[in-house]
Amino acid sequence: MEASDAKDSVRSTDLGISPNRLARIAGFLHLSLIPVGVFGILYVPSTLFVPGDIATTASNIAANESLFRLSIVSALLAQVINIFVVILLYKLLKPVSKNLASLMVIFLLLGVPIAMLNELTHYATLLLVSGSEYSASFTTEQSQGLASLFLDLHQHGIFIAQIFWGLWLLPMGLLVYKSGFIPRVLGVLLVIGGLGYMIDSFIFFLAPSFGITFTDFTFIGELLFPLWLLIKGVNAERWEESAFESPQVVGG
């Protein structure tokens, strides 16, 4: 086989689609996490939860059970989407470094079960405040106290999962920075975003009254990166060069 023929054979990813189409699918799915996350993490809590008033919070959850259940489903759906996103990004970025791409997958997949199991605390809260057979074993005050505990544990669980949401951005950012087919600045922003997640998590446990959330300032990479993939895609010629030079381009 001539060199030109060999190079032609890698113009599609090992999923059988072009790198630009793969990038746009990954970008779309990654961006879809924003409305799903905003609904479950911001909208529903701001609608139902009253800080310092568990009685009103419990009453709101009981009166809006379908909305609360939908927030649980949205959180689970976000993790399912995350799995597909990381698989697609692995295929896209593997030609840069298979080891870093594998590390990216491992970190993300470690966070997925933590985030999914964390929704059990929300479901337990629902059982306690919705008049189920379980709540009959407790007084109203006891049910509300346990519900408050489970809501607090849910917040703690988010910050544990957030460590891995930060960790997976580090190899991803390095891959983007080294790739040559995606702007380097996006890689830098992704690494900064990953560090922001981890710093916030450790501050939450070590100094909960610190009062500054770093991800409020470091999230921009997670927005710009999928937007770039969706709108601009990748530099196909440079992707092909990386794929042609990489010994692991074909296969898993």
Let me know if residue 92 belongs to a domain: yes
Categorize the per-residue pLDDT at 9 as very low, low, confident or very high, splitting at 50, 70 and 90.
very low
Looking at per-residue pLDDT, the higher value among 242 and 144 belongs to 144
Let me know if residue 177 belongs to a domain: no
Is 2's pLDDT higher than 70? no
Is 14's pLDDT higher than 80? no
Q: Provide the CA 208 distance to its chain's centre, in angstroms.
A: 23
In which domain, by residue range, is 97 found? 17-165+225-245
The count of structural domains within the chain is: 1
Residue 246's pLDDT is 67
Let me know if residue 32 belongs to a domain: yes
Let me know if residue 201 belongs to a domain: no
Contacts of 54 by beta carbon, 8 Å cutoff, 6+ apart: 144, 145, 147, 148, 151
Let me know if residue 112 belongs to a domain: yes
* Cα separation values, 40 from 133, 162, 219, Å: 26, 15, 18
**What's the predicted TM-score (pTM) here?**
0.87
Is 44's pLDDT higher than 60? yes
Let me know if residue 73 belongs to a domain: yes
Let me know if residue 94 belongs to a domain: yes
Let me know if residue 29 belongs to a domain: yes
Mean pLDDT of 181-209: 96
Mean pLDDT of 46-64: 94
Is 76's pLDDT higher than 70? yes
